[in-house]
Amino acid sequence: MTSKIRSGILLAGVLAASGLWACSLIVTRGDTQCATDGDCAGFGAQSKCTPEKVCATPTTDGGGGACTTNKECIDREGGVPAICRKDTKVCVRLTNEDCSRVLSVTAQGELLTDRRAVENDDTIVLGSLTSLLGANQPKGEARVNAFELALQEFAARPIPIGGRTRPIAVLSCNDIDVTPPAGGADPAVVRSARHLVSSVGVPAVIGGGNSGTTTAALKEVTAKGAVLIAPSATSPALTSNPDKMGLFFRTAPSDALQAIPLIQLINEAEAAPPAGKKLLVFSKGDSYGQGLRDQLVDKLTYAGKKISDPSNTAYKGLEYKADAAFDFSPLVQQALQFEPGIIVIAGTNETVDGLVKPIEAQWPGAKPRPTYIVSDGLKADKLIDLIKADENAAPSTQLRTRVRGTAPGRPNAITDTFAIRYTSRFAQAGSGATTFGTAGAYDAAYLILWGLGTVAPDAPISGQGIVAGIRRITKTGKTAVDVGPNGIDVGKPLLASGSEFDLNGASSPLEFDEAGESPADIEVWCVQKAATTGGAPSYFTTGRYYNAQTKTVVGTYNCPTGGDGGT
C-alpha cells in the first residue's frame, strides 16, 4: 500500500504492496524520501529504499517475509494471489488498489483469476498497464482482453521457455486517475508501474493506455531492466525519448505519419461548400494531443495561411487538460461563439461527452453544422453510441455523415482473423476488436511470448533477454509468421531450430527500427449506417489510407450507405 501523510507526519516503512517492509521510524519529511538505498543512510544501517520511495527496514517474518513457494505466500495472504520472488525469496502480494486483477489461461481455455493463476512456482508474471477507469475504460478492457486471447492461444500450443513449458500470468493495472492525486502524490500510472517492476519484478509490461501514461511509465519500467511495449502510444516525442534504453517498442506508428492523411481530410473539408468555413482544433494537454496538434501547426495551411500564423483568423486552437475532472463547458461556449465549419479533435474518448455531445446539443439551428475530423483516440464505442442516438432521433442531424477520422493500421487478412477470434471469445465486447490499440496489445503480447520462447535453458528471464528474442523473431526477409494460432504452429519448429523469422502483426508489420518504431499504414475511416433497423452504426475503412511503404496517401474515399466526404 502507498505511504500516507497524516498531520505532516510520515509513517515511514508502511507495509508496501509486497509486504516486505516493517515500520522503522517516524519522521516529519516529504512523501518521497529516497531514490536509492544510499539516500536512506540516515534512517538506520539496515534501511532500504522501498518501491514507494520511502526509507524502511526489511523484515523476514510475518507480512510478506521469506519464502520458498508461491503457495505459502498465497496462504499467508489469506488466499489472495501472491508469489515468492525467485530473486529475493520473499513473498509479494500481487493485487492492490491499482492492480486489481490477475489472470492466466489454461490449455483448455479456462480463465483463472484466483490463486490458481500463480500457484505453480514456474509461473512467469507479466504486466498490463492501461486505462481501467474513466472514459477510456472500454479501450483498456479491450486491450486486457487481447492479452488474454494471446495467452489462451499460446497455452493451447505451448512453446518451451528455457527448455520447459511454463505457465504465464498477467497482472492487470490501471494507469489513469479519475480525480487528480492530492498533495503532489504520484499518479496512478507511476504507482502501478513501480508495483509491477519494483515490487513484483515483472520482466515485461504492455502499456500504457495512451502516449501520456506511456511516457510517465517509461522511466519507471526501463530503469528496472523491464521491457515496455506500447500498443497505442503515437506521440512523436517518444521516438527520441532518452528513457527508452533499448527496452521500448511500440506497435503503433508515430503521429508524424497520422498527421498526413488527417491534413488531407481537413483540406478536402475546407474545399467543400459552403466556402469560408472556420477551423477549430481541440487538443488534449498531454504528449499525444500536443504531439498531433504540433504536427498540424507545423504542416497545415488553411484559408491561404499557415495555421501557425497569428493573423489567420479562420483558425482557432483550444487545449483541454488531461484530467478526468476537467470542465469542458468553457471550451464548448468558445466553440459555439467561434462557429467553426470544421472541428478537429486530437484527443481521446472523454471528448465525446465533453465536447461533441454538448456542441451538437447547443448548436444554433439556423447555422450549418460542423464536420468533425478526429484522431484515433475517439474511434471507440462511445462515439458510435452518440451517432446511434442521433440516427434514432426525430429529426436526425445526420451526425454520422459529418464524422470521419484516421487511425493507425489498416484491415487485412491478419486483422480480420484476429477480430473473428476476439469476438468469439469476448462476444459482449462491442467493437472492442476494431478499437484502436486492441490489435496492438495482441501483437505486443505475441512479441513478449515469442521473445520468452527464445530464452535458453537456465538463462534468467529478463527484459534484455526478451528484447533479444523480439529482434530475432522480427527479421525482415525471413520466413513469414503471422500472429495467431496457425502462426504458432509455423513458428515453433523455426524457434526450436534456432532460426530467425519475420512476425507479422494484426496492427502493423512489426518491422522495428533501432528506436523500436514500426511504421504502419494509416487508415481513413467513416461511420456507416446500421445493417438493420434500430441497430448500431459501425466504423468503416474507406479505402483511402496512408501507405507507409510509398509514404503517400492512396486509394479512394468510399463510405457506403449515405456517408460522404469526397473521393
- Cβ-based neighbours of 123, under 8 Å, separated by 6 or more: 70, 83, 104, 117, 166, 167, 168, 169
Across 14-23, 76-85, 279-288, least confident range: 14-23
Look at residue 70 and tell me if it is in a domain.
no
Burial class (CB in 10 A: 0-12, 13-18, 19+), 45: exposed
Look at residue 450 and tell me if it is in a domain.
yes
Q: Are residues 127 and 245 in the same domain?
A: yes
Q: Determine the Cα–Cα distance for residues 47 and 64; give it in Å rounded to an integer.
A: 17
pLDDT at 563: 44
Read off the pLDDT of each residue in 230-250 and give the average, rounded to a whole number: 94
Look at residue 28 and tell me if it is in a domain.
yes
- The mean pLDDT of the chain is 88
**pLDDT tier at 184 (50, 70, 90 boundaries)?**
confident
Quick: pLDDT tens for 110-159: 999 999 999 999 999 999 999 999 888 999 999 999 999 999 999 999 99
Across 43-57, 77-91, 93-107, 162-176, least confident range: 43-57
Is pLDDT larger for residue 44 or for residue 417? 417
Is the bond leading into 274 cis (omega within 30 degrees of zero)? yes
pLDDT at 521: 92
DSSP 228: E
Per cent of the chain over pLDDT 70 is 88
Q: What cell was used for 154?
A: 499460446
Q: Is the pLDDT of residue 262 over 80?
A: yes
Look at residue 563 and tell me if it is in a domain.
no
Q: Are residues 102 and 117 in the same domain?
A: yes
- Cβ-based neighbours of 452, under 8 Å, separated by 6 or more: 124, 161, 168, 461, 466, 469
Q: Are residues 246 and 267 in the same domain?
A: no
Q: Are residues 379 and 312 in the same domain?
A: yes
Q: Are residues 294 and 390 in the same domain?
A: yes
pLDDT at 374: 98
Q: Is the pLDDT of residue 56 over 90?
A: no
Q: Determine the Cα–Cα distance for residues 11 and 5; give it in Å rounded to an integer.
A: 7
**pLDDT tier at 58 (50, 70, 90 boundaries)?**
very low
**pLDDT tier at 46 (50, 70, 90 boundaries)?**
very low
Look at residue 352 and tell me if it is in a domain.
yes
Q: Are residues 247 and 264 in the same domain?
A: no
Q: Is the pLDDT of residue 4 over 70?
A: no
**pLDDT tier at 6 (50, 70, 90 boundaries)?**
very low
CATH code, 481? 3.40.50.2300
Q: Are residues 224 and 281 in the same domain?
A: no
Per cent of the chain over pLDDT 90 is 77
Look at residue 425 and tell me if it is in a domain.
no
**pLDDT tier at 33 (50, 70, 90 boundaries)?**
low
Q: Are residues 467 and 491 in the same domain?
A: yes
Q: Are residues 542 and 397 in the same domain?
A: yes
pLDDT at 417: 96
Quick: pLDDT tens for 381-423: 899 999 999 999 989 999 999 999 999 988 889 999 999 999 9
DSSP 187: P
| Count of domains observed in the chain | 3
Read off the pLDDT of each residue in 523-531 and give the average, rounded to a whole number: 93
Instruction: Identify the domain containing residue 472 by its residue range.
Output: 94-253+437-504
Identify the bridge partners of residue 342 per DSSP, sorted by sequence position. Answer: 279, 371
Residue 473: half-sphere exposure toward Cβ, Cα within 13 Å: 34
| pTM (predicted TM-score) | 0.80
Q: Are residues 263 and 365 in the same domain?
A: yes
Q: Are residues 402 and 532 in the same domain?
A: yes
Q: Are residues 132 and 224 in the same domain?
A: yes
Identify the bridge partners of residue 404 per DSSP, sorted by sequence position. Answer: 373, 526
| Ramachandran assignment for 198, one of left (phi > 0), alpha (psi -120 to 50 degrees), beta (any other) | alpha
Identify the H or E element spanning 408: strand 403-408
Quick: pLDDT tens for 439-495: 999 999 999 999 999 999 989 999 999 999 999 999 999 999 999 999 999 999 999
Radius of gyration of the chain (CA): 25
Read off the pLDDT of each residue in 311-318 and give the average, rounded to a whole number: 98
Backbone dihedral angles phi then psi of residue 516, each to the nearest 5 degrees: 80, 20
